[in-house]
Amino acid sequence: MRITRVVAWPVEMRLEEPYTIAYETIERVTSVFCRIETNRRLVGYGCAAPDEQVTGETAQTALAAFTDVVDPLLRGRDALRITRRNEQVREPLTKSPSVRAAVDMALFDLLGKAASLPLWKLLGGYRDRIRTSITIGILPLDATIERARHWKAQGFSCLKLKGGKDVEGDIERLLAVRSALGPAVELRFDANQGFTVEQCQRFVAGSRGARLEIIEQPTPKGELDQLGRATQSVPLPIMADESLMTLRDAFRLARRDLADMINVKLMKVGGLEEASQIDAVSRAAGLEVMVGCMDESALSISAGLAFALARPNVHYADLDGHLGLAGDPAAGCVRLEKGTLFPSEQPGLGWVPKDDGS
């Protein structure tokens, strides 16, 4: 099965509820969808979620990468030799991980369609569903409690609160949420690089009554020694997120015991193949994995979900980035029921577009 062309197009989506994290407020995002066409009339779809702060890309640079690099390199090539195709684009797209992720998932979408299997089964099918957390941005105290109660009423049993700008305020919000929701709901906290080691220690001590499950990326991503000091000095599991961009990062974090857990996002690491290798390193080192996401289409959430369902070492999912995205053309290709995500049973990633916008 030969690739005849690769087409990409942008889709701007508005967040129905804009939110704030430690370093920015997000109101809308632009994803870049791609379509890999073949001479057997099978078509594979992928989606990049470029983010200048996280992946170092913009929608414009992503579109240029598809036009100038991906299409010329992949035309005429065998679409089912996925590892070969991924290696072809790896070096020229070193600084474009979300584009690599989109190409990778489109190739796997094609493989699933060729095999007439949903991707989550093709990759291993270890489980058939997984609970996801839902994220609450940095809000005033009353608004935080209101959103927490809302999501609990929707069936979510795990909430992730964003913070990192105000230690004392973060402590107050967490304790208030725990008091409002009771003991049944699990709470996680993401500082998005906003703390020093000392602030992390203060936060953990002050929020003890909230019974947190995980603290995600408390310290700046480039300061690995700080991350390691935080990990060693607090009693709660510390998860690396922004500090993990590549397979080598995973090896470095594992070798030096710099974190207890890692957050694998397809957009950061460059796709399913790379994520699988990172998971293998993590499992060998005894590090549990969470599969996370950006603000991204349900199409790429479907790929992240397939990976999460396939790997025994993935214990957590934070795959809520598609919720509340107005204008997502792939809405519906994953199913959410009371905080649990279920995959499509359709071949590949499960998206059958009515109009792909290209």
Give the active site residues.
Answer: 162, 190, 216, 241, 265
d(Cα 101, Cα 39) in Å, to the nearest integer?
23
Neighbour-count burial for 219-245, b at 16+ CB within 10 Å, e otherwise: bebeebebbbbbbeebebbbbbbbbbb
d(Cα 320, Cα 146) in Å, to the nearest integer?
19
| 3-class secondary structure, 236 | coil
Neighbour-count burial for 187-196, b at 16+ CB within 10 Å, e otherwise: bbbbbbbbbb
Per-position DSSP letters for 329-349, written without gaps between them? TTTTSSEEETTEEE---SSBT
d(Cα 86, Cα 256) in Å, to the nearest integer?
29
Show the tokens assigned to 125: 């099918």
